[in-house]
Amino acid sequence: MSLLPESASFEELVHDYFLALRGSGLMLSALDTELVTAWAALGVPFEVVARGIARSAEKALWDARPGEPVLRSLRACRRQVEAEIKRHRERTAGAGEATRRPARRTFEELRHAQWTAALEQLAETEPALAPRSQGLLAMLAREVPQDFERMQAQETLVSLVLLRALPFPERRALWRTASGADSDAGFMSAHARRLSRRFRLLMAVRRRLGLGDA
């Protein structure tokens, strides 16, 4: 998920991921830094926090105006991140009780079900994309991702396949939207710029096709 070294701290991983999705290379504020420190003290995996940031960014991007930051502060992600932390703790605490009560579906399983339903609807509403949609449905049926990184890779593949199926003028317009969205790009690492542009491109495709949980 990140090109930071394996020795990177939790705080560094969160900082890198947030700024990439935000689309700006500015440093975190003092209040945002305190929030990251508080999350680190809870001992949850970085992927748990990343899920919350990604969910917040997806929701915010649908309402953002062209060229403006998707998220103005990490505090804007607090509700989603802490909801993911709560889910993680509930799953961890209930792991030993699996034989006594049915396990809840994970975030990745819920997203997989949502994307499957969205592709089924897309095949009906846009006949020109039906062959690609059916092929992608067959792919999704073969694997339900069990971790956040694999889920992201699967959703990225679906979005890119559908992007290639669109007429060239539409593809070009979507690429331009994603490429022109970076602000303060000079302060961002090469990895952060790539992640930022990819995130915006994939979200533009999802918005165009009505896919995903945004």
* Model confidence pLDDT, tens digit, residues 130-151: 999 999 999 999 999 988 888 8
CA atoms within 13 A on the CB side of 45: 11
**Number of other residues whose CB lies within 10 A of the CB of residue 207:** 16
Q: Name the percent of the chain lying above pLDDT 70.
A: 78
- pLDDT of res. 213: 53
Q: Residue 12, exposed/middle/buried by CB under 10 A (0-12, 13-18, 19+)?
A: middle
Q: What is the mean pLDDT of residues 106-122?
A: 89
**Number of other residues whose CB lies within 10 A of the CB of residue 138:** 9
At 180, the amino acid letter reads G
The pTM assigned to this predicted structure is: 0.71
- pLDDT of res. 34: 94
Residue 92 has pLDDT above 50, yes or no: yes
**Whole-number average pLDDT of the chain:** 81
**Would you state the structure tokens that stand for residue 24, as one six-digit string?**
């700006």
Choice between 30 and 59, residue whose per-residue pLDDT is larger: 30
Residue 214 has pLDDT above 50, yes or no: no
Q: What is the mean pLDDT of residues 21-28?
A: 72
Q: Is 56 helix (H, G, I), strand (E, B) or coil?
A: helix
Under a CB-based contact definition with an 8 Å cutoff, are residues 211 and 205 in contact?
Answer: yes
Q: What is the mean pLDDT of residues 171-180?
A: 79
- pLDDT of res. 2: 47
Residue in this structure with the two tokens 């992927």, named with its chain if needed: 47
- pLDDT of res. 97: 55
CA–CA separation, 132 and 139 (whole Å): 11
- pLDDT of res. 187: 55
Residue 4 has pLDDT above 60, yes or no: no
| DSSP letter assigned to residue 94 | T
Burial 61-93 (b: 16+ CB within 10 A, else e): beebeeeebbbeebebbbebbbebbebbeeeee
